[in-house]
Structure 1
Amino acid sequence: MIDALSYTFVQNALIGAFFTSIICGIISTLVVTNRMVFVAGGIAHSVYGGVGIAAFFGLPILVGATGFSVFCAVVLAYMLLYAKERLDSLIGSLWAFGMALGVILVELTPGYSKDFMGYLFGSILSITQNDIMVMAGFSVLLLIFIILNYRVILGLSYDEEFTQLQGINTRFFSIMLMVLIAIGIVISMQSVGIILIIALLSIPAYCSEIFTASLAKMMFWASIISFASMLSGIVIAYYYDLQAGASIVMVLAFFSFVLALVYRFLQSKLQLN
């Protein structure tokens, strides 16, 4: 593996993994603490509709995917505010619509032969310098937003009604969080793909929640867990010639399973004592 570090694409993959782990560590914490895993899944799968739009109209994939996912995020934000009783059905419909739209538009795109499997399952080893610049820029913006609005985000995550009583426009911040989640999903899909991204949006925060109840510490540990899992997945994929995105998700799943067992065992020992 040391020899592989001399290759530019491996270096890009490791740098991309670092910035992706920051993005997913923060976003997964927001998703889990706000109980929006299914919502995030709906946004993630609707991204493929944006990929199809970009291909059909000859736009950059990042532009089409970001625009459509942000639109879907805003729609879901209003659903969360005004249609909670039918939210699961609406998310499922948007999920299916986005995927179907993407498939149809890709098929209708004349002469478009690009392999779209990379968008579905990720291709972290194909990350470019431009991708890294986008990841780094969004990571910085995301960190600045969280730092400047930490107390508001904390209130939204644990006591939205009290936060609203403080005169804070919780609707605006709820929509902003959804938009940030959508953009983070689009930027991170290069690493593990649209289908597997839900693992990075839920498992790291679930694991970090075992260590701490602090929102900031959850974000920190979720980022650490994401980065360690991504590094492990890349190494496994390199040595066994496997798909990197799937390897990363398998490492995450195995780690969360072992951690949950250890946590339950320790809890039972404490109760007996």
Structure 2
Amino acid sequence: MLTWLTEPLEFEFMRQAIAIGLSLGILGAVVGSYLILQQMGMMGGVIAHAVLPGISLAFFLEIDLAIGAFAAGVLSALVVMGIQKRSRIKVDAAMALTLTSFLALGVILVALLETDNINLNEILFGDILGVTSGDVWRTVIITASVLLLTKLFYKELEFYTFDPLGAKACGLPVNLLYFGLICAITLTIVASMQTVGVLLVMSLLVGPAITAYLLVKELSQMMILGSIIGAVSSVTGMYCSYYFDLPSGAAIVLVIFSFFLLAFLFSPSQGILTEPEIKTKVRSWLKLIFK
């Protein structure tokens, strides 16, 4: 049993992959908790798909791809906010339009700028086994920075999350808080691209958070439990990938979904199978089966 646990750790690429997976599991849960409670889950998807034009331009200009991805991600969120506030268009329609437009722009830029050396496969699906020590340290720094800012402004963010109109009436800089959340979401997505890719990054942001949401009632508890679920899912997914020769990003996502499914079915307060009516039916079925 001990050998089964320690064998993958003998390889440096596995140690680095697990380290970055742990960091992103925690980061995604903390940021995702705010996303879920503000009903902004799809915003993560918009930003994730909007980074492609930024990556193309950054590659063409020979600058860090993360800088281009971050700029494009933040811009896409601001476009959504601008459309929502300046028109009668609902936020879901604004998100759909922005997502497809930025993605189309990215595809065109890849073709026009002849950035053929961009590995779209890695961007879309991730390659956590290919991370370097520099990637690990950058992710750890991003995680630590977001956690520190969350700790410092926890009360303001909590107030804004549950009552944005009340926060505005009390004089809190709600636009600045919104922008800060957008930056945190974008940083999380940029850091997660190497792990699960932009197509699966929504799972890291949303999965652990909604699983914790089914089990606890307070924001702080949701963040802590979500972080544990995210970290455990990342490590478990990596081990599954190592021993069963599975794509790492997809394995992590399916482990996250497994945790969600357990909570969805068996949560003491919100689980489907723990509802009084369902309990009664299950008991009657069991009596018939084992009679």
Q: Same fold (TM over 0.5)?
A: yes
Distance (Å, rounded) in 2 between the aligned partners of 1:229 and 1:258: 13
Is residue 150 of structure 1 aligned with residue 154 of structure 2?
A: yes
Q: Is the 8 A contact 1:77 1:175 kept in 2?
A: no
Residue 289 of structure 2 corresponds to which residue in structure 1? none
Question: For 1:268, which of 244, 257, 276 is the aligned residue?
Answer: 276
Residue 44 of structure 1 corresponds to which residue in structure 2? 48
Deviation at 1:146?
Answer: 0.8
Distance (Å, rounded) in 2 between the aligned partners of 1:264 and 1:203: 18
Residue 33 of structure 1 corresponds to which residue in structure 2? 37
Residue 243 of structure 2 corresponds to which residue in structure 1? 239
Q: Is the 8 A contact 2:8 2:239 kept in 1?
A: no
**Structure 1 residues 50 and 36: CA distance shift in structure 2, 3 A:** same
Residue 211 of structure 1 corresponds to which residue in structure 2? 215
**Structure 1 residues 268 and 51: CA distance shift in structure 2, 3 A:** farther
Is residue 72 of structure 1 aligned with residue 69 of structure 2?
A: no
The amino acid of 1:265's aligned partner reads: L
Question: For 1:193, which of 194, 197, 217 is the aligned residue?
Answer: 197
Q: Is the 8 A contact 2:208 2:230 kept in 1?
A: yes
Per-residue CA deviations over 1:212-245 (Å, capped at 9, x if unaligned) read: 1211111111111111111111111112212111
Distance (Å, rounded) in 2 between the aligned partners of 1:84 and 1:203: 31
Deviation at 1:41?
Answer: 1.0
Distance (Å, rounded) in 1 between the aligned partners of 2:114 and 2:123: 19
Residue 145 of structure 2 corresponds to which residue in structure 1? 141
How many pairs are equivalent?
Answer: 272
**Structure 1 residues 193 and 111: CA distance shift in structure 2, 3 A:** closer
Structure 1's unaligned 5+ residue stretches are none
Deviation at 1:194?
Answer: 0.2
What is the identity percentage for the equivalent residue pairs of Structure 1 and Structure 2?
A: 26
Residue 262 of structure 2 corresponds to which residue in structure 1? 258
Distance (Å, rounded) in 1 between the aligned partners of 2:172 and 2:63: 38
The amino acid of 1:116's aligned partner reads: L
TM-score calculated relative to the size of structure 2: 0.87
The amino acid of 2:273's aligned partner reads: F
Deviation at 1:4?
Answer: 2.3
Deviation at 1:82?
Answer: 4.2
The CA RMSD over aligned residues, in Å, is 1.9
TM-score calculated relative to the size of structure 1: 0.92
Higher alpha-carbon deviation: 51-60 or 91-100? 51-60
